[in-house]
Amino acid sequence: MYDVVIIGAGVVGSAIARELARYNGSVCVIDKEEDVCSGTSKANSAIVHAGFDAYPGSLKAKFNVEGSKMMEDLSRELDFPYQRNGSLIVCTKDQDRSVLEQLMAQGVENGVEGLRIVEEEELRSMEPNLAEDVTCALFAPTGAIVCPFHMTIAFAENAADNGVEFFLNTKVDCIEKTKDGYRILAGDQVYESRAVVNAAGVYADVINNMVSEKKLHITPRRGQYELLDKAVGDYVTHTIFQLPTKMGKGVLVTPTVHGNLLVGPTAEDIENKEGTNTTGEGLELLGKMASLSVKDVPLRQVITSFAGLRAHEDGNDFVIGEAEDAKNFFNAAGIESPGLSSAPAIGVFLAKEIADKLSLGEKKEFNGTRKGILNPNALNMEERNQLIQKNPSYGQIVCRCETVTEGEIIDAITRTLGARSLDGVKRRTRAGMGRCQAGFCSPRVMELLEKHADLSVYEVTKCGGEGVIVYGRNKEI
Ligand SMILES: Cc1cc2nc3c(=O)[nH]c(=O)nc-3n(C[C@H](O)[C@H](O)[C@H](O)COP(=O)(O)OP(=O)(O)OC[C@H]3O[C@@H](n4cnc5c(N)ncnc54)[C@H](O)[C@@H]3O)c2cc1C
């Protein structure tokens, strides 16, 4: 019998797991996918929002501002990339400047520090590539960018290193109330638990509705993106937002922590909770929308496109806490944007609430620090040479676009909650994320998976499921 079962190994479930690991008690995380960070947490804008655009008094505002304040220290403790590049919300000559002023007032009320309106001359010296029609902007110096994969994986690894168990490829089908808590049925597996946390992303309504009569309804709101080559990664240096509407924050143009340029997202309500495909119309719209704030966005440099699904709950706010009619069943539902920014604070809040309810004491041996995969590019030449002498696999480049070495890939496969697929390796090391999009390195990564993950090459997949890559030997099938 577990004390707590968490459903969902996205950034929210993983952050809660890591915070619960501070307490005595048995905790496990269940996810239907083959790896952590396989849902919305892998496909978003990767912005740590300052916290000005959520409505004052809302849970979004509270957790966003708290999470944003925690993020820099966390990035050091857990070793994930974070950069405070600042955000600019631009206003054009046809738009209403008073909306910008309202946003600033809202931000001040939410507790966001350092907000100010920047006039055209200063603005153009900060960002020379803004569109001609832009006249002023709200500057949020605490806005930042982060690596969403590394952040989520860091939470999960640190939770696992502190005793949390993870069960992947395990889909929760049904939850029954029992005398002592809950019985969770997942395929042929059964988990008994005193408490359950629902962090199931776009499926959080389905999970909640298995247990509670207070029904939730989540609409997947798709956001499509284009990712541009590092050659144009510094086209803007701040995150350039447009004035928000009720469908979202408009199309942004931003550098990423890894040096690319990101353009997106669209905002389309769809039915399909797995509908992460991009569309011709969506991608075309991105170019048009982006040009309203940034001129001549170099879209010829697009290297890939992708889409993620916001978990939009009808109440338009996060649903966090114990369900009214289901004792010890805790929701972290409707976590759409700014969910990535809010995850650290949601984790602290819910873990404390659950620990109090279950009377779990603090665990003395908790270790909150974690070291990420060693990146030889971050070393100077002398250090790199020493590393290669000690371990020659750091001298073997596997992914030429992103200069990822064999040593890094082996580390990604063999560490806690190691990668078991091409995408798992990609999210941990960036092998396959560059200009050729895995065209050259996939066969070599597959060999390394075969050798170090105890998989046959016929079992290696791109991202789990049935879709293997190699079916047999040439001329034998
Ligand atoms: C287009 C877009 C842009 C965004 N931009 C930002 C941004 O810039 N900044 C920001 O702060 N936030 C942003 N967000 C929001 C942020 O990405 C999400 O709030 C966050 O990733 C949600 O994390 P999660 O853990 O709740 O969900 P997920 O990452 O989706 O995790 C849920 C997990 O639950 C699992 N699951 C579901 N059902 C079951 C089941 N039955 N059994 C077992 N497992 C199950 C899934 O497999 C999944 O892994 C954006 C979102 C989108 C879509």
C-alpha span between 417 and 7 (Å, rounded) = 17
**Residues 6 or more apart from 216 whose CB is under 8 A from it?**
204, 205, 208, 209, 313, 314, 319, 331, 333, 334
**DSSP structural state of residue 163:** T
Instruction: State residue 474's pLDDT score.
Output: 87
Per residue in 374-408, pLDDT (tens digit) is 999 999 999 999 999 999 999 999 999 999 999 99
Predicted TM-score (pTM) of the model is: 0.97
Is 476's pLDDT higher than 90?
no
C-alpha span between 348 and 345 (Å, rounded) = 5
**DSSP structural state of residue 458:** G
Per residue in 335-371, pLDDT (tens digit) is 999 999 999 999 999 999 999 999 999 999 999 999 9
- Residues 147, 81 contacting (CB under 8 angstroms): yes
**Residues 6 or more apart from 344 whose CB is under 8 A from it?**
15, 66, 67, 70, 71, 74
Place of tokens 């697009």: 302
Burial class (CB in 10 A: 0-12, 13-18, 19+), 372: middle
C-alpha span between 7 and 5 (Å, rounded) = 6
Average pLDDT over residues 195-202: 98
Number of other residues whose CB lies within 10 A of the CB of residue 197:
27
Please check whether the domain covering 376-459 is classified as CATH 1.20.1260: no
**Residues 6 or more apart from 102 whose CB is under 8 A from it?**
none
- Residues 144, 256 contacting (CB under 8 angstroms): no
Instruction: State residue 393's pLDDT score.
Output: 98
Q: How far is the CA of 382 from the centre of ligand 1 (A)?
A: 41
Per the prediction, the chain carries an average pLDDT of 96
Per residue in 259-314, pLDDT (tens digit) is 999 999 999 999 999 999 999 999 999 999 999 999 999 999 999 999 999 999 99
User: Annotated catalytic sites, by residue?
Assistant: 49
C-alpha span between 392 and 379 (Å, rounded) = 15
**DSSP structural state of residue 291:** T
Would you list the domain boundaries of the chain? 2-41+148-217+315-358, 82-144+219-309, 376-459
The tokens of 226 are what?
């284009």
Instruction: State residue 366's pLDDT score.
Output: 98
Is 248's pLDDT higher than 80?
no
In the chain, what percentage of residues exceed pLDDT 70? 99
**Residue 12 host element (H or E):** helix 11-20
Please check whether the domain covering 2-41+148-217+315-358 is classified as CATH 1.10.760.10: no
Is 247's pLDDT higher than 70?
no
Instruction: State residue 288's pLDDT score.
Output: 94
Hey, whose CA ends up nearest to atom 3 of ligand 1?
Answer: 44
C-alpha span between 385 and 330 (Å, rounded) = 50
Per residue in 9-50, pLDDT (tens digit) is 999 999 999 999 999 999 999 999 999 999 999 999 999 999
Average pLDDT over residues 77-105: 95
Mutate to test the pocket of ligand 1, among 41, 170, 312, 463 (most ligand atoms within 8 A of CB): 41
C-alpha span between 152 and 31 (Å, rounded) = 14
Mutate to test the pocket of ligand 1, among 36, 44, 47, 190 (most ligand atoms within 8 A of CB): 44
C-alpha span between 438 and 181 (Å, rounded) = 46
Instruction: State residue 250's pLDDT score.
Output: 86
**Residues 6 or more apart from 327 whose CB is under 8 A from it?**
none
Looking from the CA of residue 341, the nearest atom of ligand 1 is: 11
CATH architecture of 82-144+219-309: 2-Layer Sandwich (3.30)
Is 240's pLDDT higher than 90?
yes
Instruction: State residue 237's pLDDT score.
Output: 98
Is 246's pLDDT higher than 80?
no
Looking from the CA of residue 207, the nearest atom of ligand 1 is: 41
Q: How far is the CA of 13 from the centre of ligand 1 (A)?
A: 9
Query: What residues does ligand 1 touch, defined as CB less than 6 Å away?
Result: 7-13, 30-33, 38-41, 44-47, 49, 171-172, 199-201, 203, 223, 265, 308-310, 335-341
Instruction: State residue 467's pLDDT score.
Output: 85
**Pick from 255, 249, 247, 244: which is nearest to 297 by CA?**
255
Instruction: State residue 96's pLDDT score.
Output: 84
Looking from the CA of residue 267, the nearest atom of ligand 1 is: 1
Mutate to test the pocket of ligand 1, among 31, 40, 306 (most ligand atoms within 8 A of CB): 40
Looking from the CA of residue 46, the nearest atom of ligand 1 is: 8
The neighbouring-strand residues paired with 92 are 134
Q: How far is the CA of 289 from the centre of ligand 1 (A)?
A: 25
